[in-house]
Structure formats: C-alpha cells, structure tokens
Amino acid sequence: MDKPLDLLKRLGVETQPNGDLSVYSPIDGAPIATLQNASNGEIEDTIARAKAAFIKWRDVPAPRRGELVRLWGEELRKSKEDIAQLISLEVGKILQEGLGEVQEAIDMCDLCVGQSRQLFGRTITSERASHRIMEQWHPLGPVAIITAFNFPCAVFAWNAANALICGDSIILKPSEKSPLSGMATLQALLRAIDKFGSDAPGGLAQGIIGGVEQSKELVYSRDIALVSATGSTEMGRSVAVAVAERFGKRILELGGNNAMIVTEHANLELALRAIVFGAVGTAGQRCTSLRRLFIHHTQKDALIKKIKTAYASLNIGNPLEDQSLVGPLIDAPAYMMFKNGIQDALDEGGTLLIGGERVLEEQYPDGYYVSPAVFEMPSQTQAMKAECFTPILYIVPYEDFDQALEMHNDVPQGLSSCIISDNMREVERFISASGSDCGMANVNIGPSGAEIGGAFGGEKETGGDRETGSDAWKNYMRRTTNSINYSTDMPLAQGISFGD
C-alpha cells in the first residue's frame, strides 16, 4: 500500500493541510487528508463557469463530445489500480470491489462513446398534407452530481459520461465521507479535457467539496438544470421538493431494501452464492445489498445450514489484504445503525442465527468491523421494512408463492429484487406486471452487480428515476417537437378553418 499522500499526488488530487474537512480511513480510523469546504461565493462562481461552459459545449457535435468521454475512459484505465486502492482506503471496500467500481466507470465511458452517435429523435406522420413532425433532443444545461460515500467513482461516471455526450456541463459534489475518490475520478476527466483540446471550454467539469450546506447551494440554484442525487430517502425527499419548487429536473437514486425469493424449485448452491455476495459485499453498504430472504419452507433448513457455514468462513479484515472478503463499516454512526438493527430484530421476535458482533477491535480500535448477521424472523416485521444500511440479513419462511410476492413488495422501497427458481411459471410471474414491483427484477442471480447496459434505478421511495444504460441519456436532455410545413398552404390541425 502506497502512502496516502503519495497516492493522492499521483492521482492529481490536491489537499489543504489546514482544511476544515478531515477525511478518515474506515480501515483504522486514521486521517488520510484534509480538504477545504467550498464557500457560498466559490459555489456561485463554479455555477457561473458551468453555465458559460454549457453555452459553448452544447454546440460541439455530439460524436465529438463522445471523443472526450473516450479519452476519459483511457485515463481511467491508466489510473484504475490507483483509484481502486484509494476507494478501498477511503470507503473500506475490498480491493476487488474497488477495481470493479472503476471498471464500471470505464464501461460507462465505452457505452457513451457509442451512444453519442445515437441521440436520435423520431419522425411522426402528420395529419396535415405536406407536413412532417419531428422530435429532437437538445442539451439541457449544467448538471449537479451529488454522490453517496459507497460508490464515489462509478455513480459520478454514470452521470457525467451521459451528461457530457448530451452537451451538458457538470459539477461534482462528492460525499464528505469519500471526497478523495470522487475527486480522483474527476481529475482523470480533467486530464482527458486537457488532451481533448480547445473544443472543451473552461468550467466544463468542476468539483466542489462540502456537506449538506454545499449540496443545498446546488439544489436551490436556478442555473442548475438537473440535480442527480444519490443517498437516503430522507435526503431525496428534500431534494425533490426543492428542485420541483423551481421547476428543475432531478434524478434520485435512493434507498433499497432488496429481497430474494428462494422457491421450492431453486438450485440451492446457486442461491447460496447469490445470497452471500449480495448480503455481505461492501459490508452490506450497497443500495442493492440483499436484506430480506424469503425461503420456501421445504428449502429453509438446508439453505440456512449452508448460509451459516458460508458466513462462518468469511474473512473479515483490512480490505487491502487479498484474503479479506468483508471490510469495515464506514464509520461509528454506521456501527450504531448496525447495533440498533440487531436490537430491533431481537425485539420483534427474531432469532440470531450467526454474526452480529464487533470484531478486530483490539487490532483496529478506531475501525468498525462487524461479523455479518443473519436472523430468522417470525414474519416480515416493521424492522424489516426500514432499510438498515449494514450487513443484516433477515430470513422469513413461506409456504405459498403469492404470500412470498406479497411480502416481497410490502416495503416502501423498490430498487432491486431477485428470484432463484428453475420453474418457468414462477420466474415469469416474478418478472410480470403482477410480480416484483422493483425497478430491477433478476432471475437466478442476486440483487447486486447491475450492468451499465441496463437502466439503473427503482420505484416507490427509491425515487423512480434511472441512470446508466438503455435510454437514460434522455434525462440529461430536453425534447422539442418540430412541425414542418413544406407546402405553400397553411392547413390547420384538427381540420379547423379560420377566416377562409
């Protein structure tokens, strides 16, 4: 492991020795660096530069804009190991997950390079003779990207790559818990802009450091056309109201409380692999983490036995060490959330099957490592309906498939979901209109690990918006409808005659 400041220097991330934001590593609680929170005046200047940059960038042809994103992908490839190492240091992910996150950003760049040549509208038949109707998509304006701590690189890239090919300028406000990884990803983009040349105006991509107050400055600014915010449902609710009041656009990626149904026709070995990574990956601190597990009663005992064996063999430790599979929680408040979640499950009649303890405290007194917990619950309780952003897995047996679906959908969140079954009717029902009510419904895989080719996002209190693939680029543009008359007459729609 390189020294943190050497790593930051290599990545081009500037720190301020006397800054007012201290960044600590969840690995051992040690300080990594200090940064300076942006003042209101600095944020106003940043927004003004983004607005001026947009005026120029929107006129650059979209395929040319795609070339910038291609160069960004190349810079990310060069810095992949360093950024991944920084993510592990700052977020606590195991190194393989950090590498996977940077790869997501690279994949997003590759996708958007091709997408830059396909920002197409449609031609519509007109009811009037010698007329044609055409829809076009145009650049939207400055985009503010407010990221959460757990994916400081990928989520920024999802939004920024889309925004850039769509002709928008961008401002990154990374989480105050992981600002260094976000800024390292931005620095890779700035290096690409330097190589791109004069077509990229100054202020096209910028970043500001801060917390809630700095985020509010972006959210309330009428010069920010789109706010993309990732985080808790509580945060998203306040952002949605503020942006709606000024008639801005928003993309919200909020809480997930994801479930798996393991049916009587399931392959249990397949289910086990999906369960373990889904529930303990990133120490349960993913919006797509598996939290609720509904098992057919005939499979329950056998699968629980396998889960307990797998959990007992988990290597918990320093995420930068190769043998570690589970790193630390991000900070002390996350550990308190874990403890409270354990107590809530016990209070509601849950039986703790394994885990639920703080570990490695002597080795890392200021790091919050826990053994992932598994509960068997008597039913789907109230505690299960509130997302606990930690590695707690609740198991509920079921007898009837309709009962499992009802419990699956009976939560406020609706991000990711999955079913493990070899039965075609169960699978088709799960992904049908009367099945999972989530934005993503997976079959024979877990809820985590979404690919950038499909639109990412969820329903209900997850926000209802989408990022990454498919046609998510439309969120970063505005649509116009053009009616074109190529005759010398002036026929009116609906056959109206006026003054003839």
DSSP string across 57-123: HTTS-HHHHHHHHHHHHHHHHHTHHHHHHHHHHHH---HHHHHHHHHHHHHHHHHHHHHTT----EE
Examine the pLDDT at 450 and tell me if it is beyond 90: no
Does 298 score more than 60 pLDDT?
A: yes
Backbone angles phi, psi at 239, to 5 degrees: -65, -45
Predicted confidence at residue 394, as pLDDT, reads: 98
**What's the pLDDT at 211?**
97
* Mean pLDDT of the region 364-386: 97
Per-residue pLDDT at 500:
56
262 token code pair: 């393991």
Buried b (16+ CB within 10 A) or exposed e, 100-126: bbbbbbbbbbebbbebbeebeeeeeeb
CATH homologous superfamily of 258-443 equals Aldehyde Dehydrogenase; Chain A, domain 2 (3.40.309.10)
Give 1's pLDDT tier (boundaries 50, 70, 90): low
Q: What are phi and psi of 146, to 5 degrees?
A: -110, 115
pLDDT at residue 497 is higher than 80 = no
How does pLDDT run across 391-418, given as a tens digit for each residue? 999 999 999 999 999 999 999 999 999 9
Residues 6+ apart with CB under 8 A from 263: 296, 299, 401, 404, 419, 420, 421, 423, 426
Give the H/E segment covering residue 349: none
Under 8 Å CB-to-CB from 383, ≥6 apart: which residues? Answer: 341, 344, 345, 347, 348, 350, 394
User: Residue 3: which pLDDT band, with cuts at 50, 70 and 90?
Assistant: confident
Tokens of 232: 């808790």
Name the pLDDT band for 499 (thresholds 50, 70, 90): low
Q: Where are the domains of the chain?
A: 4-254+463-481, 258-443
The catalytic site residues sit at 253
The mean pLDDT value for 96-119 works out to 97
Q: Which two tokens stand for residue 34?
A: 């200090």
**Digit-coded pLDDT (tens) for 455-478:** 999 999 999 999 988 899 999 999
Per-residue pLDDT for 495 more than 80? no
Q: Is it the case that residue 96 has pLDDT exceeding 60? A: yes
Instruction: Please say if the pLDDT value at position 490 is more than 90.
Output: no
In the numeric block, the tokens 């619950």 are attached to 377
Question: Rounded mean pLDDT of 116-125?
Answer: 96
Classify domain 4-254+463-481 by CATH architecture: 3-Layer(aba) Sandwich (3.40)
Please give the mean pLDDT across all residues of the chain: 96
Per-residue tokens: 44: 């106003």
pLDDT value at residue 73: 98
How much is the pLDDT for 16?
Answer: 93
pTM over 0.75: yes
Beta bridge partners of 387: none
- Rounded to whole angstroms, the Cα distance separating 54 from 50 reads 6
Q: What is the mean pLDDT of residues 94-116?
A: 97
Hunting for tokens 């051992």 — which residue is that?
28
